[in-house]
């Protein structure tokens, strides 16, 4: 920044503030409240539900799946007393991709051949297309993983045996750890 002798104090302060703000944004990024509800692109109850529950990043991933589910077409493949199998197709870049969604009636559970829920923890567009077909307004709890919730870090912490881990009993240890870095 070039300082001119004729520059007024207020102009110098404004330029200084801009430089400081740019440095802060570059260094630390914008502050985002973890519990702030993200804006929904689709006015659907399920989308609003997930906006209030998921972290911003995971909500955006979910919302992309929800938007992409609108381009999926379901075709009944087989049905028996236990399960229903659908071929879910989507057309992308002049190519048709097909995934298989299996809905088990007894357990009220849907799974997809793409395995996105199993690998990423976000429900896939293929299962969301099935939910839209069945007019499911709210995401069933079993498809909402705690690790992607805004409240994931709150609550009890337990070890591998299921025993509750209490806060550190000796506050002096915390002070020692913080001065070590």
User: DSSP assignment, residue 41?
Assistant: S
Task: Compute how many other C-beta atoms are within 10 angstroms of the C-beta atom of residue 126.
Answer: 29
Residues present in the chain in total: 181
pLDDT tens-digit series, residues 119-153: 988 899 999 999 999 988 888 888 888 877 777 77
CA 34, 38, 44, 47 torsion: positive or negative?
negative
pTM for the whole structure: 0.62
pLDDT tens-digit series, residues 6-54: 556 666 556 656 655 655 555 544 545 555 555 656 667 777 887 887 7
pLDDT classification of 80: cutoffs 50, 70, 90: very high
177 pLDDT higher than 50: no
Give which of 147, 139, 89 is closest to 114, Cα–Cα: 89
Enumerate the H helices of the chain as residue ranges: 9-28, 45-53, 56-69, 116-120, 125-133, 171-180
Q: At what angle do helices 125-133 and 56-69 cross, to 10 degrees?
A: 60
Give which of 123, 26, 32, 17 is closest to 72, Cα–Cα: 123
Ranges of each domain in the chain: 71-146
């Amino acid at each position: 920044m070039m300082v001119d002798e004729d520059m007024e104090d207020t102009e110098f302060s404004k330029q200084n503030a801009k430089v400081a703000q740019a440095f802060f944004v570059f260094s630390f990024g914008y502050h985002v409240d973890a519990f702030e509800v993200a804006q929904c692109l689709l006015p659907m109850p399920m989308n609003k539900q997930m906006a209030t529950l998921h972290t911003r990043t995971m909500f955006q991933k979910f919302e992309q799946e929800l938007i992409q589910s609108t381009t999926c077409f379901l075709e009944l493949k087989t049905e028996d007393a236990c399960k229903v199998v659908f071929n879910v197709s989507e057309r992308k870049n002049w190519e048709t991709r097909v995934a298989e969604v299996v809905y088990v009636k007894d357990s009220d559970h849907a799974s997809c051949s793409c395995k996105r829920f199993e690998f990423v923890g976000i429900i896939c567009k293929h299962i969301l297309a099935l939910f839209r077909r069945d007019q499911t307004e709210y995401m069933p709890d079993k498809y909402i993983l705690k690790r992607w919730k805004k409240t994931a870090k709150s609550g009890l912490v337990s070890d591998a045996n299921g025993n509750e881990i209490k806060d550190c009993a000796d506050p002096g240890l915390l002070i020692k750890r913080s001065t070590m870095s």
